[in-house]
A = this chain, B = another copy of it.
Amino acid sequence: MANVAMLGTGLIGLFYTMSLHGKRSRDRVVVVQGRDAAKTKAFAEKWGIPRSTTSLEEAVSAKDVDLVVVGLPNHLHLDAVTAAVRAGKGVLCTKPLARTAGEAKEMLEAVEKAGVFHGYLEDLVYTPKVRKALESVRKGAIGRVLWTRSREAHPGPHSDWFWAREKSGGGALVDMGCHCIEIGRSFVGKEVRPVEAVCWAATQVHPIDAEDSTVGLVRYASGAVAQFEAAWTFRGGMDLRDEVSGTSGTIWINSWLRTGFEMFSAPGSGGYVAEKAETESGWLFPVGDETGALGYDGMFADMLDAWDRKATPVETFYDGYVVNAIMDACYRSVGSKRWEPVVIDDWRGATEADGAGSHTEYDAGHWLIKRERMPDGKSKLILKDKRTGEVMQKVE
């Protein structure tokens, strides 16, 4: 059980509070901090939070506070985390951890030096679907992971600071690519080193300085490639999908627009459909339980269970730092137009690649390239002569 100080009253503070207070939870937000006194007070009243304040210092240092949740714009993360650490509180910080790996490293060092509990609030690796998929991958259900695709796209964020690069640290890559990168990394295996990245980013639609569209590839030491796609230019709602290809299987996850809930509404009086939905009439694709589907519930359960047990949650500031390091490489790649190494000063995972898989032998002299059932019911085998390298086929 934990008492929480919530910093921030925007959409993320709202979702976090809904999740922390929802579903018979034993945890409570005891104080909320926001810039605007009236708005913060109203927020506290709406969500049954005993106290509100505009003072970050006051919020993080309150005696009854166990954990500080940082739900602030990106440029305020470092100061907020520093304040929480100074107050000796555990701290959970929203995504991205920082605007750059340098800033992230400062935060990581602060919490580790102080020895305080810390968690990186990367909710999307905690959705019920992603968690179950990760478990299946670990059990070998799809074999060795070869490629992942993680995509988040919508028509753009809801607050002004996202669109101002000096505050956000970047555009769609920083805002949503951070999710996709950590999802890909989780499927490949967090112990596997990200080696290099290539990235395209452009400002295709909006009158802003940062990119509103990006696609990148991160190559890992195992040979796996994790592809990410993030855009603030997508039309039709919020596109939140993941794909994983393994040597013996495939996973497809759709977390938002196609989840088995479809509604056609001519009058369109159904009210709010889902985050980022663009339409209220015609064919709609609502989401039943948004805080569940976005991973907030699973994320806080893991964080607070870890807090209760004095354990380490699945996502820590170190993970946030690695994600920032990958994003830094991506931005360098956008500039250099080539693959750029991922620079991690303090790599804590495996030092060796886990090696590519071995080949399948057909007989002493041949590798089996593949076997396929043909329309006529027979099987066709493609073989490779081990010595000469010649490729041949055989029907069985």
Q: Enumerate chain A interface residues (CB-CB to B < 8 A).
A: 14, 23-27, 127-133, 135-136, 139-143, 146-147, 149, 153, 155-156, 158-161, 163-164, 198, 200, 202, 204-209, 213, 215, 217, 219, 223, 225, 227, 229, 231-237, 239, 245-255, 258-272, 275-289, 292, 297, 300-301, 304-305, 336-339, 356-357, 359, 367, 369-370, 372-375, 377, 380, 382, 384, 389-393
Minimum distance in angstroms from A376 CB to a CB of chain B: 8
The 8 Å CB contact of A391, one of B161, B247, B300, is B161
B128 touches A292 (CB 8 A): yes
B288 touches A263 (CB 8 A): no
B292 touches A233 (CB 8 A): no
Contacts A26-B26, A128-B287, A277-B373 known; list 10 others, CB within 8 Å.
A128-B292, A136-B263, A136-B286, A141-B271, A142-B263, A205-B357, A235-B248, A235-B249, A252-B263, A276-B372
The 8 Å CB contact of A264, one of B213, B250, B263, B370, is B250
B304 touches A24 (CB 8 A): yes
Q: How far is the CA of A247 from the CA of B258 in the complex (A)?
A: 21
A-B contacts, 15 of them at CB < 8 A, read A23-B301, A130-B288, A146-B233, A147-B204, A200-B219, A239-B250, A249-B263, A249-B264, A254-B260, A258-B260, A277-B373, A282-B283, A289-B292, A336-B338, A338-B339
The 8 Å CB contact of A27, one of B24, B263, B269, B380, is B24
Known contacts: A160-B382, A373-B280, A393-B160. The answer to whether A266 contacts B286 by CB under 8 A is no
Q: How far is the CA of A254 from the CA of B260 in the complex (A)?
A: 5
B265 touches A158 (CB 8 A): no
A141 touches B265 (CB 8 A): yes
Number of copies: 4
What 10 pairs between A and B have smallest CB-CB spacing?
A: A128-B288, A141-B270, A236-B264, A282-B282, A254-B260, A128-B289, A338-B338, A136-B270, A26-B26, A283-B283
Q: How far is the CA of A297 from the CA of B389 in the complex (A)?
A: 38
Known contacts: A266-B143, A282-B283. The answer to whether A393 contacts B159 by CB under 8 A is yes
Known contacts: A204-B146, A337-B339. The answer to whether A286 contacts B132 by CB under 8 A is yes
Minimum distance in angstroms from A333 CB to a CB of chain B: 9
Q: How far is the CA of A98 from the CA of B378 in the complex (A)?
A: 30
Minimum distance in angstroms from A109 CB to a CB of chain B: 30
Q: How far is the CA of A135 from the CA of B339 in the complex (A)?
A: 37
Q: How far is the CA of A236 from the CA of B277 in the complex (A)?
A: 18
B136 touches A271 (CB 8 A): yes
Minimum distance in angstroms from A63 CB to a CB of chain B: 22
B247 touches A253 (CB 8 A): no
Known contacts: A155-B370, A264-B249. The answer to whether A300 contacts B24 by CB under 8 A is yes
